[in-house]
Amino acid sequence: MNELEGMEKDILTEVATIGSGNASMALSKMLDKKFEVKVPLLQLIPVEKISEMMGNPEQLITLVMIKIIGDVPGTMMLLFNPENAIKLAEQLTKRIKNDGILDEADRSALKEVGNILAGSALNALADFLDFTLVQSIPDIATDMLNAVINTITADLGQEAEKVLVLETIFRDEASTVEGKYYLLFDPKSTQAILDAVKKKINQ
């Protein structure tokens, strides 16, 4: 798989929209405020290029990641700049932080956000595509963008030259918190998704 055709792009955009739409609804419920999502950005790119599309190599980020296991293995990630991660953690734990550092309670809260977002997105996708999808426990790291992202893409790069990256920006209405939501699938999983959707269309 080297390029995606027009219809395949449309299908995958729809899949990403279903995932991120359900994830943002879950987040809205969790924090009792409306979150909006942008139309997903979709790219099939070499694993080495993924970190480049996300920002500066040395900028600090906070990232929650969850591995997707099952019929279409992949990875889900929530990416925040550290200030936004702290703001979100404050809202979740109902505490005001002055030290600018994520402590264990904050990290747990953010991991739980990952859990809930992944759960709602994967449930919606599993229903839509008739797949069985299971999620790993969440993990979180704050460090340089390249160090964090390339560790995850290396995991994917063991078995694929290119990876499908679905990126959605989400923010609350007052724009106090903004983050990016990613689904990564290797070409084998991407093909499985496309096949499942095409089968559905032809039914």
Partner 1 sequence: MESSKIIVRISDFAIGRAPAVLVTQGIGSCVAVCLYEKEQKLGALAHIMLPKTIKITTDGDKVNPLRFVNTALPIVIKELEKEGAVKEGLSAKLVGGAHMFRVLGSAEDDLGAKNIKAAEELLAGVGIKIDNEEVGGNVGRSLEFDLETGVVNVTTKM
Quick one: which of 186, 193, 194, 197 contacts partner 1 (CB under 8 A)? 186
Q: How far is the CB of 34 from partner 1 (least distance, A)?
A: 31
The residue (of 21 and 55) whose beta carbon lies closer to partner 1 is 55
Q: Do residues 59 and 127 touch, judged by C-beta distance below 8 A?
A: no
Pairing of strands 35-37, 178-185: unpaired
* Residue 173 touches partner 1, criterion: CB under 8 A: no
Q: How far is the CB of 35 from partner 1 (least distance, A)?
A: 25
How far is Cα 26 from Cα 146, in angstroms, rounded to an integer? 29
* Residue 136 touches partner 1, criterion: CB under 8 A: yes
Residues 34-93 close enough to bind partner 1 by CB under 8 A: 46-48, 51-52, 57-58, 60, 65-67
Q: State the Cα angle at 9 between 45 and 173, rounded to 5°.
A: 90
Quick one: which of 159, 173, 195, 199 contacts partner 1 (CB under 8 A)? 159
Interacting residues toward partner 1 by CB under 8 A:
1-2, 46-48, 51-52, 57-58, 60, 65-67, 136-139, 141-155, 157-162, 186-188
